[in-house]
Amino acid sequence: MSTTAYQYVDGEWIEGESDDEITVRDPADPDDPIAAFPGASQAQARAAVRAADTASASWAEAAPVEREEVLYEVADRIDAAQDSLAETLTREEGKPISSSRGEVARAAEIFRFFASQARTATGDTVPSNDPETFTYTVREPLGVVSLITPWNFPIATPSWKLATALATGNAVVLKPSSETPMIARRLVELLEAAGLPGGVVNLVVGAGSTVGDELTTHEAVDGVSFTGSTATGQHIAETVAERGLPVQTEMGGKNPLVVLPDADLDAAVDTAIAGAFGGCGQACTATSRLVVHEDVASEVTDAVVERAEGLSLGPGMDDPDMGPAVSAAENETNAEYVEVAKDEGATLLTGGGTPAGLEDGHFIEPTVFGDVDSEMRIAQEEVFGPVLGIIEVADFEEAMAVANDVDYGLSSGVFTSDMAAAREFTRRIEAGVVKVNGSTTGSQIQMPFGGMKASSSETTKEMGKRAYEFYTHEKVVYRSDP
């Protein structure tokens, strides 16, 4: 079992000082802990913010090319360590090793993409009404930004926050999920090895109740970017908004995939299976509602059930189709929603139980429910597990009504060969991400990412060529030369 220090403050690795014990377990074999250490104390979180505050001015003044070079070096180091990073990720999060390798490669791609922001995160030259006045805008870093990240994409999500914040000259304090601190530590080690000055990046691993306030209310914090549950995100948004600071929250989803009668049904079924059960359904963009036209509902349902029953399950290091849930608590929630759906009258078509031979891990079978009504909890609440509800609709209008009949608005998809219907879906869907003949999951780095309604704060998007806007102030300049 590891006894490595997990707190990184002002360029030094230190042991945590709180009474909170952080224990990391392999979700496929949770009886044998793979790491245990004390979490960060409130005083250490405060010290991390102070260290970032002290370092922020010099990093902001560093030439863009210096920041760019560090980020490119980080990307190269991620690539060089891909296999070992992927193994660390799978051991603590549980996803299949091939998926972990893909996520690690994506992290390197993210750092390369945002390295260029160091030179291009600029303002605009705007024509003035007065020919004697030069009008333009400039972008300047916020200063100190707290980054709070989840366990389900434990290297990709920190990477796109870190890379953007650092490219634009901010100093940061990163708080990863306590479920996946090992990959976060590895990432910070690579930043350190790439030559990032002490204090520019700080890492605190600890309970939110212990360190959270310092990362959101400390007077030196100038902005907060959060990805995680809706309840936590809304609390953080309210807390930070009271101080008048920029806050960015990416939260839950209840994402619909609509299948119309003219769709390529084989492609639609393949996409639904991947979107619902890839990563054990543990993605905010996972497909959780399959909204199917009645003319093809029987055919689609039969195919989905057959495909779900054919998926392989097992430890992530064996590279199955689906690994375990990340924790006992998450798996218990999955089981609870299975019972809720049954009690509400949905029909369990397949799954819902513990797969034979995998009782020791946090495993649940890929689960499909039919006869789901849009008012059921299984159709309204985010499960965050491999549970798919099939909702049958009579026509396109009912499909739109069902797709929008939730508090969330993160991702969505429609399968159809009718481009007029695709355009109408795109226009009317209440979601920040829209896929036509594609999965609700997945996004490209050069495209903005974010949702609507209870899924996201809509101030700015993550990723994409203007992701830097959240991490910078904009100054408007009127210059009249004497």
Query: In terms of domains, do 178 and 266 share one?
Result: no
451 lies in a domain?
no
Query: In terms of domains, do 233 and 86 share one?
Result: yes
pLDDT of residue 317: 97
Q: What share of the chain is helix, strand, coil (3-state, %, to 5)?
A: 40, 20, 40
441 lies in a domain?
no
Q: Please report which confidence band the pLDDT of residue 32 belongs to, taking 50, 70 and 90 as the band edges.
A: confident
Query: In terms of domains, do 246 and 261 share one?
Result: no
- CATH code, domain with 155: 3.40.605.10
43 lies in a domain?
yes
Query: In terms of domains, do 327 and 242 share one?
Result: no
Query: In terms of domains, do 246 and 263 share one?
Result: no
How much is the average pLDDT of 347-376? 97
Domain that holds residue 269: 255-436
How much is the average pLDDT of 90-104? 98
Q: How many domains does the chain have?
A: 2
Give residue 139's identity as a one-letter amino acid code. R
Give residue 265's identity as a one-letter amino acid code. L
pLDDT of residue 460: 73
Query: In terms of domains, do 224 and 277 share one?
Result: no
66 lies in a domain?
yes
346 lies in a domain?
yes
A 10 A CB-CB count for 95 gives: 27
131 lies in a domain?
yes
Query: In terms of domains, do 301 and 316 share one?
Result: yes
pLDDT of residue 4: 80
How much is the average pLDDT of 269-278? 98
pLDDT of residue 1: 40
Name the pairing type of β-strands 367-370 and 433-436.
unpaired
Residue 351 neighbours by CB under 8 Å, 6+ apart:
308, 309, 364, 365, 366, 367, 368, 386
Query: In terms of domains, do 245 and 265 share one?
Result: no
What percentage of residues in the chain have a pLDDT greater than 90?
93
What percentage of residues in the chain have a pLDDT greater than 70?
99
Query: In terms of domains, do 343 and 218 share one?
Result: no
How much is the average pLDDT of 261-277? 98
Residue 205: is its pLDDT beyond 50? yes
Instruction: Kindly tell me the burial class for residue 209, based on how many C-beta atoms sit within 10 Å of its own C-beta (0-12, 13-18, 19 or more).
Output: exposed
Catalytic amino acids? 284
Residue 106 to residue 79: CA distance in whole angstroms: 10
Query: In terms of domains, do 266 and 133 share one?
Result: no
450 lies in a domain?
no
pLDDT, the chain, mean:
96
How much is the average pLDDT of 189-209? 96
Query: In terms of domains, do 261 and 225 share one?
Result: no
Query: In terms of domains, do 78 and 194 share one?
Result: yes
User: Looking at 39-53, 268-282, 452-466, which range is the least confident one?
Assistant: 452-466
CA distances from 204 to 2, 48, 188, 217, 462 (A): 17, 8, 11, 16, 22
285 lies in a domain?
yes
